[in-house]
Chains A and B, each alone.
Chain A
């Protein structure tokens, strides 16, 4: 058992070749989950029986001479806001506790069809609203590298599951940084693809113009593999891009010779911890050494991104979450009239952060405030897109920190929503613009916790982004290197 392959690419190759069985791979990962997830809490639900049955089916296919697909026998963890037919999907909210969706999300269909084995549903901040996984109704997930610290969020369970070796791959969703920030804090790779590249069908909606599904992995190549399997047009999502899926695995060794990289001035100064900023500078040096040019570029409107995001996302959420009315699914708290039942159900079913955002969004959309808040935020979104367009006239890629700090401790930011929101300052602009971005582990901070550096590219610029990510991965200092 000691020589089982660890990456998704190696597992799939071995399973397809028949040298390793999917069943022994899944048993190994279920053992790891049983041994360590009690203290980490990455999973809301472990699908042990279902995973064993799926692995047996993969092994039977191999034995019969069929190819199970590019993810043959690869364990995968699914964020618990991705619908799984007949399997509880909670969004870590009391209001959906016990709900069993009548359909699979498109990404779940695609990874299953490619031979992957779903091992469980991972914890998140309730309805993906948060940056620490402390907002889960079912308790927090702990950072596998230091159990006294948060794993980030909202996809904290998916990031922790990969960091802890519970599964080589997981899927998360990213509305304002919810894949990239936990990837950085847990020391794994996390990708938010171009808006529309991956179907959102079956992703429980938070803010529909910002939400995007993406992969977590321990390597850049594994992230490219999973993105390739999940990407592509889906008629069930009207915002799905109808175009070719780039061959990301094929470009990973193309290097960055001649590429122009921009360091975003506004995201390197105030508010960014010095040890994090130093790692970003070191990453810039690594790209330079590999033949890229690096220059400073300005995205002035990025300074307004946080305000725009915390009006737009709650506004969309207040509309999306109106569906939780106690009528068709999930929790119902009985009352004499339907109107009273609606209020009693929502009051009991939603946690404090979700209520806060619903009210903020309702306020920003209400008569008398719409123009001043929501309307202004939509115009700032235009400014940010214009600034990005200007920057991409000058450079091919942008480089920033993923998160302003390394993983913080539990309770450090829960009493002050605004300090928690500041976590997202580097990740939000990509969601507002619909652009791809990814976090790549790049050594540790002064506290020895992982630092992630973020690469940003223009819409559909995944190929060039992954080329640079592969260079940074090779150049990354080890996590245990003493920070100076």
Chain B
């Protein structure tokens, strides 16, 4: 059984999920997520060592299509939806801390 969720756990998870929480939101979320995980304690406590997991309802194997060229999305139509573009590409702010 995992130990109960702490405020620090929630802060770490928010960081991993690229979300910023205020102090008040952190408190609220710790309580709410804790209550949901407490409910999930019923399955965390089950002994299921002999049960295989099911990730998907269909017995699918890899699905391939015929190797033929089909039209893709129109580049200009796609780029028209982007917040910022430059020279036919998506533009983003600085990465890796370099000067923009």
| Contacts from A to B (Cβ < 8 Å) | 99-100, 102-103, 195-196, 209, 235, 238-239, 241, 303-304, 306-308, 310-311, 318, 322, 325-332, 334-344, 346-347, 350, 355-356, 358-360, 362-363, 366, 368-369, 372-373, 375-383, 385, 416-418, 421, 432-435, 459
Q: In the complex, what residue of chain A is closest to B20 when comparing beta carbons?
A: A347
Q: A102-B77, A238-B63, A382-B51 are in contact. Are A335 and B93 (CB under 8 A)?
A: yes
Q: What are 10 pairs between A and B in contact, CB < 8 Å?
A: A102-B77, A238-B60, A238-B63, A304-B42, A306-B39, A346-B19, A358-B17, A363-B37, A366-B16, A375-B53
* Residues of A contacting B: mostly: helix
Q: Enumerate B29-65 residues with CB–CB distance to A below 8 Å.
A: 29, 32-33, 35-37, 39-40, 42-44, 46, 48, 51-58, 60, 63, 65
A359 to B17: give the CA distance in the assembly, Å: 7
Query: With A and B bound together, what is the CA distance between A355 and B13 in angstroms?
Result: 11
List chain B residues, Cβ under 8 A from A373.
2, 37, 40, 44
Q: Flag if A376 contacts B94 (CB, 8 Å).
A: no
Assess the B43–A378 pair: CB atoms within 8 A. no
Known: A209-B55, A380-B48. A337 touches B97 (CB 8 A): yes
Instruction: Tell me the minimal C-beta distance from A362 to chain B in angstroms.
Output: 5
Across the interface, do B53 and A379 meet the contact criterion of CB distance under 8 Å? yes
> Chain B binding site: helix, strand, loop or mixed by DSSP?
loop
What separation, in Å, do the CA atoms of A337 and B95 have in the docked complex?
6
A102 with B73: CB separation less than 8 A:
yes
Check if B67 is an interface residue, CB within 8 A of chain A: no
For B38, the closest partner residue in chain A by CB is A418
* Cα–Cα distance between A320 and B87 once the two chains are bound (Å): 29
Known contacts A328-B82, A335-B93, A358-B19, A434 near B43 by CB under 8 Å: no
Q: How close is B5's CB to chain A, nearest CB, in angstroms?
A: 8
Given A235-B65, A310-B36, A332-B83, does the pair A380, B17 have CB atoms closer than 8 Å? no
A100 cross-chain contacts in B, Cβ below 8 A: 80-81
Q: Is the CB of B18 within 8 A of A241?
A: no
B40 touches A310 (CB 8 A): yes
Q: Does B9 contact A (CB under 8 A)?
A: yes
A102 CB contact (under 8 Å) in B9, B74, B93: B74
Does B39 lie within 8 Å of A362, measured CB to CB? no
Using A102-B78, A373-B37, A382-B54 as known contacts, list a sample of 16 further A-B pairs with CB atoms less than 8 Å apart, ordered by residue number in A: A209-B55, A304-B42, A327-B83, A328-B78, A330-B83, A336-B94, A340-B93, A344-B20, A346-B18, A347-B20, A355-B19, A360-B36, A379-B54, A432-B57, A434-B58, A435-B57
